């Protein structure tokens, strides 16, 4: 028992010495030199629970860096990305951003994926007074802390993501409007607020809620939920889905033999190839969803982005990749407008101005929450079409009611 203390003492002393030596070595590059690259640091969930969107976000950042550097970089300096893997874990993302800021001493930061990770990470950035533009993380909690340096690079926060759909429903003539609705949603900090706000708004507009349920994220069997939906027979089914659960519920509805007049799902239908494969292309017809980005939208640079992405990765970009690209665009705009790397000036400018991105124009209130609307999309003829807003709509047609399932 006495010897363990001896052993430990040596081990700890050695480790501490090594630790100090390591920390001494890793000095970052000094910023401010005129032709030195601008270093931008970010952590992403490249492994773990969020690795799929994390990987897409990384590709988005990489494409942005490539395109920017070809055009001469920002302020005449090339940009250099340092991306760390936080393994979808909160402890790690805090350590990662601490490291980027204090050890690698990056000039600028970009955010990570998911509110769960962005919440602690943005606190690190705010404590260090660095601008933090995040591509994904619209949960209301993000914006309730009075942060000044935080900016969310999508058009609206989670509770307002489906406002465009609600407005559309309210605009329908009485005969076509749904009278009853069911709201199954995943217990996800991003998807759930969307459905919660939608439900309240539609109830206020006279749409009766016949069924509402929250299911845990690991749910893979939707037969019982589909069974209940069938029993209650709603006109509208609005699901707070992430991805696999969106596909899962559709499959279960097909098995149960129930097809609602209108089907709305968050996120899931935006994963075009996988969604179509998952539910069967014919069954995508008429499904509504809101999305922050569309490959067909004609916002500036969007088509270039899509082309470049396809060239590099041989696939159509994912929404998460586009959101990452947009976040980087926001940061770029701020730096360019201010003319130097000054976090406070950049933050002030972004609060006061609009930025054109591939998602459309973005602007923020004082908490960093964006002020515009998502795009309302619908699957028609095996393709996603933008229905609203009108200025980027790809079709005037709206499919209503949703046709029945093609296999039963």
Partner 1 sequence: MTHATETLILGLLTGGVYALLASGLTLIFGVMNIINVAHGALLVLAGLLTFELWRRLGLDPIASAVVTTPVMFAVGWAIYRLFVARIRTAPVSMTVLLTFALAITLEGAMGLTWKNVFRSVTPGYVNQSFHLGPFFFPKAQVFGCLAAVAVLSGLWLLLTRTWAGRAIRAASQNPQGSALVGVDIRGVAALTFAIGVATTGAGGSILSVLYPLFPASHYLWISRLLGIVVLGGMGSLPGAVVGALILGVAEAFTATYVSTRWATVVFYLVILVVLLVRPQGLMGSRLRGDVVT
Partner 2 sequence: MSAADGLRRAVIATAGLALAAYPLARPDDAYGQSVLIFAFLLAVMAGGWNIMAGFTGYVSIGQSAFLGIGAYTVALLSLRTGLSPLLLAPLGGAAAALVAAVLGATVMRAREHAFVIITIALLFLFQTLALNLEGITGGSNGLTLPLPTWDRDIQNLPFYYVMLGLLALSVLLSWWIRRTKFGMGLIAIREDEDKAAAIGVRTSAYKVLSFVASAVLIGVAGGVDAYFLTFIDPRGMFDILVSVQLVLAALVGGRGTIWGPVLGAFLVVPLNEASNNLAAAEGLHLLAFGLALGAVVMFLPHGLIPTVRAWWERRHPGPVPWERRAPATTAARVPAAAATPRRALLEVAGLAKRFGGVAAVDLCSFTVREGGLTGLIGPNGSGKTTTFNLVTGMLRSDDGSIRFDGRRIDQVLPWERAHLGLGRTFQVTRLFPRMTVLENLVAPLRGFSWSNLAADAVSGPEARRAEELLDLVGLAPLAAQPAGRLSFGQQKLAELAQVLMLEPRLVLLDEPAGGVNPGMIEHIAGLLLELNRQGITFLIVEHNMPMVLELCDPILVMARGRVIAEGPPAAVQRDPAVLDAYLGEGWGTASRADPSAPVEA
Q: Single out the residue of 42, 65, 79, 101 in contact with partner 2 (rule: CB under 8 A).
A: 101
Q: Decide if residue 16 touches partner 2 (CB under 8 A).
A: yes
Q: Which two tokens stand for residue 246?
A: 């969106």
Q: Decide if residue 219 touches partner 2 (CB under 8 A).
A: no
Please tell me whether the peptide bond between 8 and the residue prior to it is cis, using omega within 30 degrees of 0. Answer: no
User: Running DSSP on this structure, what letter comes out for residue 332?
Assistant: H
Pick the closest to residue 195 from 180, 212, 207 (CA basis).
212
Q: CB 297 → partner 2: shortest distance, Å?
A: 30
How many positions of this chain bind partner 2 (CB under 8 A)? 57
The position carrying tokens 């609009």 is 354
Instruction: Evaluate whether 360 touches 301 at the Cβ level (below 8 Å).
Output: no
Q: Which two tokens stand for residue 52?
A: 């799929």
Q: Which is nearer to partner 1, 49 or 104 (CB)?
A: 49
CA angle 114–120–122, rounded 5-degree value: 80
Q: Decide if residue 216 touches partner 2 (CB under 8 A).
A: yes
Q: Could you tell me how many residues make up the chain?
A: 408
Q: From partner 1, partner 2, none, which one binds at residue 408 (CB under 5 to 8 Å depending on kind)?
A: partner 1
Residue 289 in 3-state DSSP? strand
Beta strand 375-380 pairing with 360-362: unpaired
Q: Decide if residue 92 touches partner 2 (CB under 8 A).
A: yes
Identify each DSSP E strand in 76-125 by its residue range.
79-85, 108-110
Q: Which is nearer to partner 1, 78 or 219 (CB)?
A: 219
Q: From partner 1, partner 2, none, which one binds at residue 213 (CB under 5 to 8 Å depending on kind)?
A: partner 1
User: Running DSSP on this structure, what letter comes out for residue 317?
Assistant: P
Binding site for partner 1 (CB under 8 A): 47-49, 51-52, 187, 213-216, 218-221, 223-225, 227-228, 231, 243-244, 247-248, 251-252, 254-257, 277-278, 280, 405, 407-408
Query: DSSP string covering 166-180, please?
Result: HHHHHHS-TTTS-SE
- 291 C-beta neighbours (distance < 10 Å), count: 22
Question: Residue 210 — φ and ψ, nearest 5°?
Answer: -100, -15
Q: Which is nearer to partner 1, 77 or 402 (CB)?
A: 402
Q: From partner 1, partner 2, none, which one binds at residue 224 (CB under 5 to 8 Å depending on kind)?
A: partner 1
User: Looking at 182-190, 274-282, 344-352, 392-400, which segment touches partner 2 (CB under 8 A)?
Assistant: 182-190
Q: Decide if residue 62 touches partner 2 (CB under 8 A).
A: no
Q: CB 225 → partner 1: shortest distance, Å?
A: 6
Q: From partner 1, partner 2, none, which one binds at residue 15 (CB under 5 to 8 Å depending on kind)?
A: partner 2
What residues line the site for partner 2 (CB under 8 A)? 1-13, 15-17, 19-20, 23, 46-48, 51, 84-87, 89-92, 94-95, 98-99, 101-103, 116, 119-120, 123, 126-129, 139-141, 144-145, 187-189, 192-193, 216
């Amino acid at each position: 028992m006495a010897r363990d203390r001896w052993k430990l003492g040596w081990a700890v002393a050695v480790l501490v010495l090594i630790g100090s030596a390591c920390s001494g070595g890793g000095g970052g590059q000094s910023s401010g030199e005129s032709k030195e690259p601008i270093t931008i640091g970010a952590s992403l969930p490249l492994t773990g629970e969020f690795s799929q969107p994390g990987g897409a976000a990384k590709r988005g950042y990489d494409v942005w860096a490539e395109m920017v550097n070809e055009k001469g970089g920002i302020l005449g300096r090339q940009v250099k990305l340092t991306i760390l893997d936080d393994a979808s874990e909160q402890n790690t993302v805090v350590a990662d951003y601490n490291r980027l800021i204090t050890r690698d001493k990056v000039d600028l930061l970009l955010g990570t994926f998911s509110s769960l990770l962005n919440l602690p990470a943005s606190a690190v950035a705010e404590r260090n007074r660095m601008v933090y533009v995040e591509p994904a993380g619209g949960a209301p909690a993000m914006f309730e802390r009075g942060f000044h340096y935080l900016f969310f690079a999508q058009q609206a926060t989670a509770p307002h993501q489906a406002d465009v759909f609600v407005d559309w429903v309210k605009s329908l003539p009485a005969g076509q409007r749904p009278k009853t609705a069911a709201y199954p949603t995943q217990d996800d900090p991003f998807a759930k607020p969307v459905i919660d706000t939608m439900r309240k708004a539609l109830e206020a507009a006279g749409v009766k809620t016949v069924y509402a349920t929250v299911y845990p994220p690991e749910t893979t069997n939707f037969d019982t939920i589909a069974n209940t939906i069938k029993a209650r027979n709603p006109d509208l089914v609005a699901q707070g889905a992430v991805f696999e659960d969106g596909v899962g519920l559709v499959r279960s509805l097909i098995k149960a033999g129930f097809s609602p007049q209108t089907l709305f799902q968050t996120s899931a239908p935006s994963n075009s190839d996988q969604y179509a494969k998952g539910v069967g292309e014919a069954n995508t017809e008429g499904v509504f969803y809101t999305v922050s980005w569309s490959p067909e939208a004609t916002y500036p640079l969007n088509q270039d982005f899509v082309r470049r992405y396809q060239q590099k990765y041989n696939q159509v970009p994912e929404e998460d990749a586009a959101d990452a690209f947009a976040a980087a665009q926001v940061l770029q705009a701020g730096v360019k407008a201010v003319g130097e790397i000054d976090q406070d000036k950049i933050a002030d400018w972004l609060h006061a101005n609009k930025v054109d991105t591939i998602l459309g124009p973005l602007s923020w209130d004082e908490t960093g929450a964006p002020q515009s609307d998502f795009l309302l999309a619908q699957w028609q003829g095996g393709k996603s079409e933008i229905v609203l807003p009108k200025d980027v709509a790809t079709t005037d047609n709206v499919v209503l009611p949703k046709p029945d399932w093609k296999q039963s």
